[in-house]
Chains A and B, each alone.
Chain A
Amino acid sequence: MNKFGQCSIALIATILGVLSAPALAQTEVYRARLSPMPTTPQTVNEITGEGEVILTLEGNTLTVEGSFSGMSSAAIAAHLHNGPPAQPGPVAHALEVQEAASGDIFAMLELTDEQVQALRDNALYVQVHSENNGPGELRGWIYLRSHFDS
């Protein structure tokens, strides 16, 4: 992982430490791996990068903290979308994103009850848009972090 990734993990740890301490029992931690949007041999060198987003749910409050690196160009936007695994859907929330090819993502969102349910059903995903790839360059569906421990 790059330098920046380590920084952001430290940041996440700090924020989670502060925010989650009082209500540890209800905290649900989710994760999305960011990877390139659908590609072909023609576009494989133009849709690039990877990243990781950790999402912490307390009540209906979702804290989104992540980082990405190696995109083809600077990020212009990041969103939380509604859609079951591998099925693109509409935007649910905008996320703060650093306008760089490698950078950080952040948000604190108030989810509706339906969105909380969608989160638990793996029906939310994070997408990062870049200058060169307006329709999206990185994407990752959100699962309970424990889903990835095998």
Chain B
Amino acid sequence: MTISKLKLSKQIGISLLLGGALAACDSGSAPAESTVAVAAGPSFDSQASSGSDLFATNCAACHGANLEGTRLGPLLTGGAFLQRWGTQTPALLLGNIQANMPPGGSGNLSDDDYVAIVAHILNENGVDSVTEPLTASTDFTIADNVSAVVARRERPEPPAPQGLTVAGNTEDFVEFVPLTTERLENPDPADWPSHRRNPHGHSYSPLDQINTDNVRGMTLEWVWNMHEGDSEPAPLVYNGIVYLINPGNVIQALDGRTGELIWEHWTGPANGQDMRNIAMYDDKIIQATTDARLVALDARTGEQVWETEIADSSLGFSNSSGPIIADGKVITGLAGCARYIPEDCYISAHDATTGELEWRFNTIAQAGEPGGDTWGDLDNVFRAGGETWITGTYDPETRLTYWGTAQQKPWVPVSRHLTINDAGLFTNSTVAVDIDTGSLDWYFQHVPAEALDLDEVFERVLVNRGDERLVFSLGKYGILWKNDRVSGEFRGFAETVFQNSFTHIDPETGAVTYREDIQNAQLDQWTSSCPSSAGGKDWHSMTYHPPTGLMIAPLSQTCLENAAREVDLVQGGGGLAASRKFFEMPGTDGKLGKLGAYNIDTMEEAWSFEQRASYHTGTISTGGNLLFAGDLDRYFRAHDVETGEVLWETRLGTSVQGHPVAFAIDGKQYIAVTAALGGTSPRTVPSVIATEITYPDHGNAIYVFSLPD
């Protein structure tokens, strides 16, 4: 190819456009062609067969050609799928799929096409005793029509590992010292005894043996391969023992010095699903499970001490994050609250010694309750969302626990049968809840009537600055919010990445005004905005570095097109109900990953570090003036906390993901980090934008680094 082939028209002021070229700018696509055989009316088998082709083109990219699942979408066959859908009807499954899938938009799939796809999914799941063709109202119980399932009810499968699979005792390694409230609130510098290390959620360790002067010499001390599955782990380290949550609700205790396994406990379900963090109190490790149970293990031996239910998982409730401890209480959130059912999401408190329920705080205001008039005239059943899927923090001084709540469901007001004026309390808010009574002390709703799937649910970081008692949060809109944590009052904000969802953020009150087209978005109408549903910021915790007063966050720079889908107000229905497409954030030169450091007094950006690969770990900082973060491209790096300069880097087996920790044993400092797969939208969005970044699809592990002796 040569330059001369280009017709260089030097004509000035070309603004003339051919009709054809203009038409090409519209996003119209060819009218839908029905692919379902019509003739004498379809049979279940013929529906399933045409559904098979439709599935291959529209669904297989994420769910796998054989419904086996990929890292972009869950499997749609087998025990786990039937556990969720077996008790439901084809009509509900159809409604759910039609409202939510494929996430990029339903394109030219007709109603009949969707029915055919459902027939295919049912067929692949062994639904075999169907004589009638499937319709939009077929209402048999799915599992009852799977002869293999019916047969299996009499002859159960060999069970997955359950309970203690490796027995041992930490006392063979180190004398056991109970983790008291005092030691949780003022952790020993050598320990990382709770998620984000202290109750205020600083993700900061005062250890300074590894520092800006010597970090270049840091080398691998040991590595331990973890179980495969989706994983965003936050290890705990207490008294030299590493407590590690693995996918599928498996906990391991390892000797921090050598990486020797001490005990392993499979709490189940053994589903390869993700759990971000666990908690420790007294002599117990306390975990929430993916099926919404709360379980306490003996920290020395891994033996189970008590178990209780957080919520009924058969209603769709689940947990993806674990608890924190507040003065002997286990405070836990809840997820899986998008379905139209009478039960809603809550934060709950259980006694850490017995597991006994102490209180629940409901995040969705019911009609007649305070805030209940912010949901239009929606029946309580159809008020959904408000998940507390990221663990909060705790202030021993105010005795309040601070949590973020997720947005209303479905994602767009018009799908919810609501408007942009229906704020939907207490969604997308900071809630400050009294740990003794479970009552709401104050709330601040950052984004009322959320309209783009951009949650404000992430960690609340508590900072004392002079006389001020502050709480910071950073949601998917990429706005760092500063509030007074005693009164809830707004104190300031910083935009950390480009956003064009709001045309105005009131500097006095923090009130946001959505762009007009977002306010008025109708069904199937695309809006284009930044950031995308991967954030801004997502589940990866930010760090507060007290010596410099900097808040340093892992950020992501992508944008989305979003279109609301229709959801019927039927009990058992609901969902997310939006089509979405993703693209690079303008002006970023394609750099998805950003570390941003903010002066919490001025709320100005002190420095930033941007790169192509997205970040997949929380950030942590240390007394050695180091910041640690890891990315999709397998790099784990140490930066100078004051400048962002890279001081040390290494490359791990697969994408670096989870929450790093710093700890010390016998005076020697270590830095640990996990490599992991899964991790929801922060991975799936970059996977369609930064397609050139490759990494193994397995290799969950914990890596521990130190300076040579």
- Residues of chain A whose beta carbon lies under 8 Å from any beta carbon of chain B: 4, 7-8, 11, 33, 35-44, 50, 61, 76-77, 79, 81, 84-88, 91-96, 98, 100, 102-104, 106-110, 122, 125, 127, 129, 134-136, 139-141, 143, 147-148, 150
Contact = CB atoms under 8 A, between A and B. Distances in A.
- Select the residue from A40, A102, A129 with max chain B CB neighbours within 10 A: A40
B104 interface: yes
Nearest to A106: B8
B580 interface: yes
Nearest to B610: A150
Contacts of B2: 7
A135 B528 contact: no
Given A4-B1, A84-B500, A35 B26 contact: no
B102 A104 contact: no
A100 B1 contact: yes
B62 to A, nearest CB: 5
A38 B581 contact: yes
Given A41-B62, A77-B21, A91-B25, A86 B14 contact: no
A40 B10 CA distance: 38
Contacts of A134: 23-24
A136 B72 CA distance: 25
Interface of B: 1-3, 5-17, 21-28, 57-58, 61-62, 72-73, 102-105, 498, 500, 528-530, 559-561, 580-587, 589-590, 608, 610, 684, 687-689, 691
Contacts of B586: 85-86, 122, 125, 140-141, 143
B6 A85 contact: no
A40 B12 contact: no
Contacts of A84: 500
A141 B585 CA distance: 9
A36 B691 CA distance: 11
A141 B10 CA distance: 23
11 contacts: A40-B103, A41-B688, A43-B104, A44-B691, A79-B21, A85-B587, A108-B12, A125-B586, A135-B28, A141-B587, A148-B587
B15 A93 contact: yes
**Ordered nearest first, which 5 A-B pairs have the shortest CB separation?**
A40-B104, A38-B581, A141-B586, A110-B13, A85-B586
Nearest to B15: A93
Contacts of A122: 586-587
B24 A110 contact: no
Nearest to A143: B587
A125 B5 CA distance: 25
A4 B4 CA distance: 12
A86 B15 contact: no
A111 to B, nearest CB: 9
B3 A38 contact: no
Contacts of B498: 85-86
A96 B13 contact: no
A108 B24 contact: no
B24 A94 contact: no
A47 B27 CA distance: 14
B291 to A, nearest CB: 28
- Select the residue from B9, B13, B28, B57 with max chain A CB neighbours within 10 A: B13
Given A35-B584, A38-B583, A87 B500 contact: yes
B580 A40 contact: yes
Given A38-B583, A86-B585, A108 B10 contact: yes
A110 B12 contact: yes
A94 B16 CA distance: 7
Contact of B3 (A42, A79, A104, A147): A104
Given A41-B687, A86-B500, A98-B6, A129 B25 contact: yes
Contacts of B688: 39-41, 44
- Select the residue from A8, A42, A43, A91 with max chain B CB neighbours within 10 A: A42
A13 B561 CA distance: 36
Nearest to A84: B500
A41 B21 contact: no
Contacts of B23: 134
Given A35-B689, A38-B528, A96-B7, 12 more contacts: A7-B2, A7-B3, A41-B687, A61-B12, A86-B528, A86-B529, A93-B15, A98-B6, A100-B1, A103-B1, A108-B11, A150-B610
Contacts of B608: 150
Nearest to A98: B6
- Select the residue from B58, B498, B561, B587 with max chain A CB neighbours within 10 A: B587
A81 B24 CA distance: 13
B54 to A, nearest CB: 12
B559 A86 contact: yes
Contacts of A147: 587
Given A41-B62, A91-B17, A96 B9 contact: yes
A39 B581 contact: yes
A18 B486 CA distance: 65
Given A38-B582, A43-B104, A91 B1 contact: no
Contacts of A106: 6, 8-9
Nearest to A48: B691
Contacts of A150: 608, 610
A40 B7 contact: no
Contact of B21 (A11, A50, A94, A104): A94
Contacts of B500: 84-87
A93 B72 CA distance: 39
Contacts of A86: 498, 500, 528-530, 559, 583, 585-586
